[in-house]
Amino acid sequence: MAVDLRRDGVRSSLVWDVLSGVISARVAATGRPALDIVDVGGGTGGLAVPFAALGHNVTVVDPSPDALAAAQRRAAEAGARLASVQGDAASLDAVVGPAAADLVICHNVLEYVEDRRGPAPRPGRPLHRSPPAAG
Residue 5, C-beta contacts closer than 8 angstroms, at least 6 positions apart: 12, 13, 16, 46, 50
Residue 81 forms part of a structural domain: yes
pLDDT of 45: 93
Residue 82 forms part of a structural domain: yes
Residue 76 forms part of a structural domain: yes
Residue 135 forms part of a structural domain: no
Residue 1 forms part of a structural domain: no
For residue 39, the domain's CATH number is 3.40.50.150
Q: What is the pLDDT of residues 74-132, one digit of tens each?
A: 999 999 999 999 988 777 777 777 777 888 888 766 655 666 555 455 544 444 555 55
Asked if the model's pLDDT at residue 58 lies above 50, the reply is yes
Q: Cβ(82)–Cβ(55) under 8 Å? A: no
Residue 133 forms part of a structural domain: no
Whole-number Cα distances in Å, 20 to 23, 70, 92, 116: 5, 23, 23, 29
**Residue 66 pLDDT level (bands cut at 50, 70, 90):** very high
Q: What is the pLDDT of residues 16-56, one digit of tens each?
A: 889 999 999 999 999 999 999 999 889 999 999 999 999 99
Number of domains forming the structure of the chain: 1
Q: What is the pTM of this model?
A: 0.77
Residue 27 forms part of a structural domain: yes
pLDDT of 114: 63
Residue 134 forms part of a structural domain: no
- Domain carrying residue 29: 6-111+120-127
- Between CA 104 and CA 129 the distance in angstroms is 10
